[in-house]
Amino acid sequence: MSPKKAKKKAADGAGSNVFSMFEQAQIQEFKEAFTIMDQNRDGFIDKSDLRDTFAALGRLNVGQDELDEMLKEASGPINFTVFLTMFGEKLKGADPEETILNAFKVFDPEGTGALKKDYVTEMLTTQADRFSPEEMEAMFVAFPPDVAGNLDYKNLVYVITHGEEKDAE
């Protein structure tokens, strides 16, 4: 759904309607995620919390710029109802391992399984939902390239996907 449509829905003041879009159990789940992110327990999450929140819910494909635009339209601080209204309908499933691998493979047409650190940096920090330098650095700290500067992306994808599975048990 495009941002415009979402804006319209929000403007309709669909406060009560949004709760009927979901099952009770789902809403409880979202509420919990929202509450976890609302660190000071004041019922509102700020911009940085927001990104983490719906990303943590794991099922959202909203771009950074899009998010910023939407936030500009939100009339006030984001409480749970606003959150659901604006983003609830965008929930999706998680990307399987293969999808991510294929995404990396786009940059590795020969299928070597590794990418140059500098190339990865350029690829992720200069386009689309740009990584900040700090984010890039954090990724390389967690998944260090070898001495030649190669990042083993297959391992990275594997560790994250399987690590997440393991932790969810």
Partner 1 sequence: MGCGTSVATETQVMKLEADEAVKAPSPALTMKAAVLIQRWYRRYMARLEMRRRYTWNIFQSIEYAGEQDQLQLSSFFSFMLDNFTQLNENGPDLISQLLDPVVDPWLERETCYNLISVPETYTGPRISFPLSVSDTSILLSAFKEQQILHARYVLQLLYETKKLLKQMPNITHFSTSYTKEITICGDLHGRLDDLLLIFYKNGLPSAETPYVFNGDFVDRGKKSVEVVILLFAYLLLYPDYMHLNRGNHEDHIMNLRYGFTKEVMQKYKTHGREILQLFQDVFSLLPIATVIDGKILIVHGGISDQTDLDFLSCIERRKVKSALRFPRRSLEQLDISQSCKHGKRMRSTDSSRPNSSRSYKSQGTPNPRKKRCRLNRQDSAASSSSSSSSSSSSSLCSPQTPSCLSPRPLPSTPSMPHGVLNVPFLDSMSSIPLPSPPQHEQEWKQIVDILWSDPKTQEGCNPNTFRGGGCYFGPDITQRLLVQHGLQLIIRSHECKQEGYELCHGGKVITIFSASNYYEEGSNRGAYIKLGRELVPRFYQYQVSRTTRRLTLTQRVRAAEGSALRALKEKLFAHRSELVAGFQQYDQTGTGSVSVSEWAQVLETVLRLDLPWRTLRPHLAHLAPDGCVEYQSCFENVGPGVSLPQVTPNLAETLFRYRTDIEIIFNIIDKDHSGLISIEEFRHTWRLFSAHLGVAIDDRAIDDLARSIDFNKDGSIDFTEFLEAFRVVHKLDNKDSQLQEKMGKGRYS
Where along the sequence are the contacts to partner 1 (CB under 8 A)? 1-3, 24-25, 28-29, 32-33, 35-37, 39-42, 51-53, 55-56, 58, 61-63, 66, 90, 92-96, 98-100, 102-107, 109, 123-124, 127-131, 135, 138-139, 141-142, 160, 163-164, 166-169
If the CB atoms of residues 12 and 129 are measured against partner 1, the closer one turns out to be 129
By the 8 A CB rule, do 91 and 59 touch?
yes
Contact 80, 113 (CB under 8 A): no
Strands 114-116 and 150-152: antiparallel
Min dist CB 123 to partner 1, Å, is 6
CB of 90 to partner 1, least distance (A): 6
CB of 14 to partner 1, least distance (A): 18
- Cβ neighbours of residue 166 under 8 Å, at least 6 residues apart? none
Instruction: Name the token pair of 35.
Output: 């509450």
